[in-house]
Structure 1
Amino acid sequence: MERQQHLDAWQHSGLTQKGYCRQNNISLSAFYYWMKHSKDNAGATLTPAFIPARRVTVDNTHAQTVTLNLPNGCSVSCFPTQLMGVMQTLSLC
């Protein structure tokens, strides 16, 4: 499969980059290289995949947080009142 086809397939898969690479027997470093190379050639970044979010209860309190699971495998947790600021910051990355 061509590199760009893998990048497109990953975006539509709903998987993390690590999960997609594992499933398709691709080294993560090669995948990162493809992404960088694709960005350099296209002059634009890839459209991010849907970022699923879930609400969880914080241990020992009744406060609730929202956890964003990012396509690269990282997670960001914040209080709902902070969500807009976190999303705006993430959009700059």
Structure 2
Amino acid sequence: MSRKEEMYAHLEAWKESGLTQKGYCALHSIKAPTFSYWVTKTCGKKNVDSPAQFIPISPTNPVEQKITVEYPNGVKVHLSNTELLKEAIHLF
């Protein structure tokens, strides 16, 4: 039996056993990091076929935008509202 075949046989047996990875490894004298690598490697292959999906989200609170305009003479104008920024631009 090749190493790859052995890996797949252990993975199937582990899934059917109901044991944790650590418990299965202890029972079968397998190094836990190696077994974890096998699990990750095979799960990654299965997920390649499934397309990525986005879920819509809506912010519950409006995002505050704080804008600071600093003039060469050192005067700073702090604005937290974009409408105020539009008005300030028209003033100067």
Q: Into which bin does the TM-score normalised by the smaller protein fall?
A: 0.3 to 0.5
Structure showing greater radius of gyration is 2
More strand by share: 1
More helix by share: 2
Alignment TM-score, normalising by the size of structure 1: 0.43
